[in-house]
A and B are shown apart, each in its own frame.
Chain A
């Protein structure tokens, strides 16, 4: 339809040092604007979401209090004298936070979602840096999830480390291959990635509905009447390092996600590949003129994006879901939330990490079990509120030129930034 979207990148270039204090101040102010705009965006979105709640006759303060309590983020400021067990050992040491409280349990759930969102967010962000809008995170997540489920529930008796590694790597490759279809089509015939990835999402959805349906090849062999997959074997489950493994404690997928964040930063900022990807993202014509193969980078960027989304599917399946069924497939939206994560995080590694925490908390806080019954008659309503807030975040991000404009005006009024200083 068009050339790829161009979401404003944060101005990471350091200010002209030699120009002295005024320019330095301006550079700092601009950098601060890069942080302030997303924060204001998020706050505005929550306020507007509150208006929707108010308009439909509910109490927004009560709703948001319920959401906040559900996120478990209150855990951080409840400092006291507690003990913590060193993971995978029996020793305990002194620790300022209580690791077994209700808030701790909620925080574990928030972080589980954060891990997945970091990965689906990176899947969008990486393609974005190459000038492509990857709406196919959901389908790529499915591809990874199906493969992880299949491998995780087969090959009984394999060494646990080998089994998990095999499942994760295969899932990442499946995600890459699935996203690669859109990448190849973009690179060779110029098919717009927004349409192809959306269509591929539906292909992945119906493939899953087939695989796990009654009589489908991967359907649960023990419960022939239930359209769901086999359970992931004990040996293929990711170890839990915080909380009760039987009650969905925090699994080591968090470290997979953090490692992915670091890899993203290194690849984008410190490798030739990352340089080429960014060059194509800024201006494909100029990149081509500079001797960079645009087609190759479109394909690679899409495939790498698929790796991240495939990993997300893998850690979800091996970490806490352990099986996937019809309703899971039909209601899954974590890949789409990744889009909001990437955009709020400005497609940078640190930004995606923080935005994933915000949205992980929002998703967990609006999960129906966390919503107090007096807030909504039907707790699922909170899920729709969370969708609305995500949409508003996206809209206001689109409108960040407005926020930055106000920010710049304010800056001028208090005399920090002056246009003449540039």
Chain B
């Protein structure tokens, strides 16, 4: 035992706690290493991220030795390395370009936009998994929502109809997943994956059937923005949140509602009990199948809503397979957030931020740089790091993934 820890033990801090604080400190330093090279600080010397990120890695290493657990230490070390790398890359770019890319208010708005489809899908994932059904099919439900949301807005000529169509389409796919995994007791991961495949086939088929190979039209009624008086005129806040799409606000409201539903209402207690101990719930007279059906279909509806926002809110178009793994990132956010709405929302913001970065960072290096393509892998790498670093620790609902046989 080192002198330092002995001293701290005298003060009365638990050693395991210390190791944990060190681990989180390491992760924080890693993030700081990146942050320092960005406007407004804009450190230009590569030494800065190297030293700060290096300290983060060292903190991670010490926390591992002090028994913080492998995962937290892995997280601290990988965030440190990532921070050094990204920080170093930023010091190589041009300050003017960097200033343009890192308009923080715009970046916050972009983060919220990118996080919204993830948030809807993650809330759906929480409901479904809390009731004991793994929903790998979130990806497909997002895609269904994206296509049918766009189609509805186009053919019925109003974005609100688009929302209705997208939500119904997501829920319909969820119903298929629910029937196969609840009633037929199939492996939930296989059935969810099949749902993804089905969505890919169906949306691709109807996409070409309706829009041929010309792509989607540009004049479709899209999700409107909510321009908030007073706030929109403010200096920094106005540009960040003064003029956001209404579905972004809906997502935030839904996060609160989902928390209240799950932890403050009898319905939420029932839903959780079915996911933790279905037999006990069944004995008490709850319909395990019924509750699971409702939860899975709701999760599909939510993911469908996220999909509508993806196509008709963010890109104003639909492309084949446009969900691009977002359903799986949302799943990672569910686990990262330990099946809790607020924490999952925080995770979605993190992933949304990396997505916003991935889209903007290449701009800081001019058009013709081949390697900036690699930035587009950033959201996936960060998800990987988070899954490896944190996720394994969290404990899922006890009965998740297990089909229940009625007694």
What is the interface of chain A, defined by CB distance below 8 A to chain B?
A: 1-3, 5-7, 52, 56, 133, 135, 185, 188-192, 194-196, 198-203, 205-207, 209-210, 213-216, 219, 336, 339-340, 343, 377-378, 380-381, 383-392, 394-395, 397-402
CB <8 Å contact, A215 and B387 = no
Query: A58: nearest residue on chain B (CB-CB)?
Result: B209
Assuming the contacts A56-B209, A185-B388, A215-B368, asked whether A202 and B189 have C-beta atoms less than 8 A apart, the reply is no
Q: How far is the CB of A285 from chain B (nearest CB, A)?
A: 15
Q: Is the CB of B197 within 8 A of A133?
A: no
Q: List 19 A–B pairs whose Cβ atoms lie within 8 Å, in order of A's numbering.
A: A1-B401, A2-B134, A2-B189, A2-B396, A133-B190, A189-B392, A191-B387, A194-B136, A196-B388, A198-B325, A203-B384, A206-B373, A206-B376, A207-B377, A213-B370, A389-B201, A390-B201, A395-B194, A398-B180
Most buried by B among A200, A210, A400: A210
Q: Across the interface, do B205 and A395 meet the contact criterion of CB distance under 8 Å?
A: no
Contact with A along B389-400 (1 / 0, CB 8 A): 101100010001
Is B374 touching A1 in the complex (CB atoms < 8 A)?
no
Q: Which of A5, A195, A210, A390 contacts B374 (CB 8 A)?
A: A210
**Which of chain A's residues has its CB closest to B176's CB?**
A395
Residues of A within 8 A of B199 (CB): 391
Contact B377 A202 (CB under 8 A): yes
Nearest residue, chain B, Cβ from A6: B187
Q: Is the CB of B328 within 8 A of A195?
A: yes
A391: which B residues are within 8 A, CB to CB? 194-201
CB pair B388–A189 under 8 Å, yes or no, is yes
Contacts of B188 in A (CB 8 A): 2, 5
B269 within 8 A of A: no
Q: Are B370 and A216 in contact (CB under 8 A)?
A: yes
Confirm or deny: B2 has a beta carbon within 8 angstroms of a beta carbon on chain A. no
* CB contact list, B168-223 vs A, under 8 A: 176, 180-181, 184-191, 193-202, 204-209, 212-213
Q: Taking each of A214, A383, A391, which has the highest tally of chain B beta carbons within 10 Å of its own beta carbon?
A: A391
**Do A210 and B370 have beta carbons less than 8 Å apart?**
yes
Residues of A within 8 A of B311 (CB): none
A71 CB → nearest B CB, Å: 19
**What residues of chain B lie closer than 8 Å to A395, measured between beta carbons?**
176, 180, 191, 194-195, 198
The answer on a CB contact under 8 Å between A387 and B197 is yes
Q: Please count how many residues in chain B sit with their CB below 8 Å of the partner chain's CB atoms.
A: 62
B230 on the interface (CB 8 Å rule)? no
Q: Interface centre among B176, B205, B212, B335, by most A CB within 10 Å?
A: B205
Roughly how many angstroms separate A386 CA and B206 CA in the complex, as a whole number?
A: 13
Asked if B186 contacts A398 (CB within 8 A), the reply is yes
Contacts A194-B136, A339-B193, A380-B213; is A213 near B373 (CB within 8 Å)? yes
Q: Is the CB of B387 within 8 A of A185?
A: yes
Is B331's CB within 8 Å of the partner chain A?
Answer: yes
Q: Report chain B residues within 8 Å CB of A385.
A: 201, 205
- Residues on the A chain within 8 Å of B181, using CB: 398
- The B94-151 residues at the A interface (CB cut-off 8 A) are 129, 134, 136
> Which partner residue on chain A sits nearest B212 by CB separation?
A378
Min Cβ gap A386→B in Å is 8
Are the C-beta atoms of A398 and B401 separated by less than 8 Å? Answer: no
Q: Which residues of A contact B71 (CB under 8 A)?
A: 189
The CA of A200 and the CA of B328, in the complex, are separated in Å by 12
| B407 interfacial by beta-carbon distance below 8 Å | no
Asked if B74 CB lies within 8 Å of chain A CBs, one says: yes
Q: How far is the CB of B113 from chain A (nearest CB, A)?
A: 20
**Which of A206, A215, A381 is B209 in contact with, Cβ under 8 Å?**
A381
- Of the candidates B176, B188, B392, the one having the most CB atoms from chain A within 10 angstroms of its own CB is B392
B197: chain A residues at CB < 8 Å are 336, 340, 387, 390-391, 394
Q: Which residues of A contact B388 (CB under 8 A)?
A: 185, 189, 191, 196
B190 and A377 contacting across the interface, CB-CB below 8 Å: no
Contact A195 B387 (CB under 8 A): yes
Q: How far is the CA of A219 from the CA of B136 in the complex (A)?
A: 36
Interface string of B332-360 (1 = CB under 8 A from A): 10010000000000000000000000000
Q: Does B63 contact A (CB under 8 A)?
A: no
Residue on B nearest A181 in the bound complex, by CB: B384
Which residues does chain A contribute within 8 Å of B185, judged by CB atoms?
401
* CA–CA, A203 and B379, complex, Å: 10
